[in-house]
Amino acid sequence: MSIPIRNVAIIAHVDHGKTTLVDALLKQSGVFREGEDVPICVMDSNDIERERGITILSKNTAVKYKDTLINIIDTPGHADFGGEVERVLGMVDGCILIVDANEGPMPQTRFVLKKALEKGLRPIVVVNKIDRELASPHAAVDKVLDLFLELGADDDQCDFPHLFASGMGGYAQNDMETKGTDMVPMFEAILRHVPPPVGDSDKPLQLQVTTLDYSDYLGRIVIGKIHNGTITMGQQAALIQRDGSISKGRITKLLGFDGLKRIEIPSATAGNIVAVTGFADANIGETITCPNEPMALPLIDVDEPTLQMTFCVNDSPFAGTEGKNVTSRQVRDRLFRELETNVALRVEETGEADKFAVAGRGELHLGILIENMRREGYEFQVSQPQVIYREIGGQKCEPFELLALDVPEEAVGSCIERLGQRKGEMQDMVVGANGRSNLEFVVPARGLIGFRGEFMRMTRGAGIMNHSFLEYRPNCGEISARRNGVLISFEEGVATDYALMGAEDRGTFFIKPGTKVYKGMIVGENNRPQDLELNICKSKQLTNHRASGGEELVQLKTPIDMTLERALEYISGDELVEVTPQSIRLRKIAKKLARR
């Protein structure tokens, strides 16, 4: 007799504590032995996830509670990785929506909740971080109900169960009057409110591919939920691909989940989430089925990308000096390999052999791909992100975003003014008691390109900005995102203290003394609207005469640290970001530079 199963996804806005709560559930279930050194956010296994404190890839774990196997899937909170959320929601029968007790629902809460409600799931709401200052748990529950009604939830979904919890404290409680001591109330809520999976073990096999992994020893690993039938190690099976074609194969390995480990199992029945090998050509949304009675499940529908940029081979004077993968073939192979696991990405070849059009869900989505490639030794260039237009009802339409700002009161006026210039429309404004205000806007996606840097300057680093895709709307006309000109090096060499000090009154630099530069490389931002070419490699002429003022120690202003995200937001249409394993450089497109 098979054991009872519950399949549940954890969904939330970024940084509301999903992964920390999963940590607490794992500890409560006894996955870790006593005294074991357990890292914080144990589910965030990717280096970039740990560095940035965000979940990028959905991951599943399994724990046992009262003889019930609970499959828990930790999903990303950022809307740029919505493709991960959409495909795993088809594997589960319930979800836990986590909301910060202080912030309440945020833009990406709306995004992930909308996807869950569309799947017909009835969420369990967990108000997290109740032990923090300024926490307002009951107000957060009221805001969540308002959001449910706004998104058109039915009566059953609006009558959601809710808990209060602290992921860091490792406890959950049913009300605010009784202090919690452990995560038992959350486990009990899962057993009570998440229905068991629907499926018939006696029907022909149907397993839908929702996640792909790779092992040097096993090859491609397919992870998915068994919707019907039984799967056994070594059995013959068939893969129904997107185009309807059928290829036959054999289940060479069958793996189940136990805590954070994958364990070999002899068989599994309907409702289980398993990993299988033996189908090297399997892709997201396809069905592994019985070869005698092949029946496909509905393909997973994922929202289309909204932002596109061009990836091209590095042709700067420093090309090939810092990376090991520099050719167009290597860059092309890596981009197309990413398509195997990144369901929300699109890659197209252009008319030029060394350029590729790459489309994604946002700047962060594409930025993570670029960061992964540079860490793997790739060297290439990328263009300014551009929004993807669509024709809807014979009208040219563009993507709009829902933007939420949390800013100090003194910065409210400048934020409203700047977003007005970018065609943003304010929807709501709430003045808090702590000297901060919450603003909500609907803004065209292209109006947000390059806005984050301005926003951080306007709020002096004290502002919080979140946005998520809302919908496509008719084109709103020209947007003048004004930016000062740039300072450009007009020769190759090494930047010197003397030259940088002499040009400090011209603008703000992105480099420091000793940085290698080349002709056309952007080294700073001009104080004026036009671009300016400078010689920043000249050195002081030495003579045997002592200067009248004596030798003085001169300190240069701290340069702006041009990170990858800031560089992608900063560049304009005639500029590129040069990406190597060691450096992020900005440059003018060579043809544009030659024309001036």
Instruction: For the chain of 596 residues, list the mean pLDDT of each consecutive stretch of 10.
Output: 81 73 75 45 45 49 85 67 66 88 78 81 90 85 89 86 88 86 89 89 88 76 88 91 87 84 87 88 85 86 80 91 90 87 82 90 82 92 91 90 86 90 89 79 87 82 78 85 81 89 88 91 90 87 55 69 85 90 89 43
Residue type, 223: I
Feature table: binding site for GTP: 15-20, 128-131
Can you give the pLDDT at residue 302? 66
CA pair distance 45, 50, nearest whole angstrom: 7
> Please, are residues 433 and 414 in contact by the beta-carbon 8 Å criterion?
no
Residue type, 34: E
User: 206-289: which CATH architecture?
Assistant: Beta Barrel (2.40)
Can you give the pLDDT at residue 517? 92
Cα end-to-end distance, the chain, whole Å: 77
Nearest to 228 by CA among 279, 275, 287: 287
3 state SS of 374: helix
Superfamily of domain 486-595: bipa protein (2.40.50.250)
User: 390-474: which CATH architecture?
Assistant: 2-Layer Sandwich (3.30)
State if pTM tops 0.75. Answer: no
Can you give the pLDDT at residue 441? 92
User: Which secondary structure element, helix H or strand E, spans residue 575, and what is its range?
Assistant: strand 575-579
CA pair distance 352, 375, nearest whole angstrom: 26
Cβ neighbours around 285 below 10 Å, total? 21
CA pair distance 9, 43, nearest whole angstrom: 14
Feature table: binding site: 15-20, 128-131
Nearest to 228 by CA among 298, 299, 297: 297
For the 5-193 domain, the top CATH level (class) is alpha beta
- What is the residue extent of each domain of the chain? 5-193, 206-289, 390-474, 486-595
